[in-house]
Every structure is written in structure tokens, then in C-alpha cells.
């Protein structure tokens, strides 16, 4: 196609973008990447050592933080449920009124 070659495409008089050049898409990063060397295999002992080192870096939350977060989630769920219930009642009432008008 002409647009793939960066050619000016004819456009209608007075249309937006008249005379603009369409630029072809850049090649993907995968096509331009150099060949990757094969990965080195890791022994099971080295894997376990690395996993233990990563686990030590984790910040574990306290029971107090977990409890407060759980309570906040519960409160937000209840508030969302109440909001959706009110919206449902309002929309149901509105639809009933429209159906009464139609009959």
C-alpha cells in the first residue's frame, strides 16, 4: 500500500490533513534486538538460596495493619452495596413511571 512507503496520499480539497505525509511504522524492538545469549542454568541449591534472599527483603505487615485494612475493605464494600441499592431503587422507580406513561 502507498501509506506503507511514506508517500503523500491524495486527499479531498479542504479536508483536514491535506498534504501530510504518512510515515511508515518503526520496526519493532524485537526485530532490531541483537541475538541473546542462551541463559545459564541454575542449580536447585542456588535457586533456593536466591529465593530465601528475596523472601528476606519482603516487608510483612503487622496484624494491626492487616486488621485495619480488612475493616476498611469491609466498610467500602458495604458503602458500595448501599450505593448500588439506592441506584437500583431510583432506576426501578423511573422505569415503572415510564411504563405507566406508556400504558
48-78, pLDDT tens digit by residue? 999 999 999 998 899 999 999 999 999 999 9
What pLDDT was estimated at residue 32? 60
**Which residue do the cell numbers 545469549 mark?**
37
Cell triple for residue 53? 534472599
| C-alpha distance from residue 100 to each of 78, 86, 93, 96, 97 (Å) | 33, 21, 11, 6, 5
DSSP-assigned beta bridge partners for residue 21 = 8
**C-alpha angle with apex 31: 25 to 36, nearest 5 degrees?**
155
Distance, CA of 57 to CA of 97 (rounded, Å) = 60
For the chain, what is the mean pLDDT? Answer: 81
Q: Using 50, 70 and 90 to split pLDDT, how confident is the model at 96?
A: very high
Supply the DSSP symbol for 3: G
Question: Domain extents for the chain?
Answer: 76-103
Contact 19, 7 (CB under 8 A): no
Amino acid at each position: 500500500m502507498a501509506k506503507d512507503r511514506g508517500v503523500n496520499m491524495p486527499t479531498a480539497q479542504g479536508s483536514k490533513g491535506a498534504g501530510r505525509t504518512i510515515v511508515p511504522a518503526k520496526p519493532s524492538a524485537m526485530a532490531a534486538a541483537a541475538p541473546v545469549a542462551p541463559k545459564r542454568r541454575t542449580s536447585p541449591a542456588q535457586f533456593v538460596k536466591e529465593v530465601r534472599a528475596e523472601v528476606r527483603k519482603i516487608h510483612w505487615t503487622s496484624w494491626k495493619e492487616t486488621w485495619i485494612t480488612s475493616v476498611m475493605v469491609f466498610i467500602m464494600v458495604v458503602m458500595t452495596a448501599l450505593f448500588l441499592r439506592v441506584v437500583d431503587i431510583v432506576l426501578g422507580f423511573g422505569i415503572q413511571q415510564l411504563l405507566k406513561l406508556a400504558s
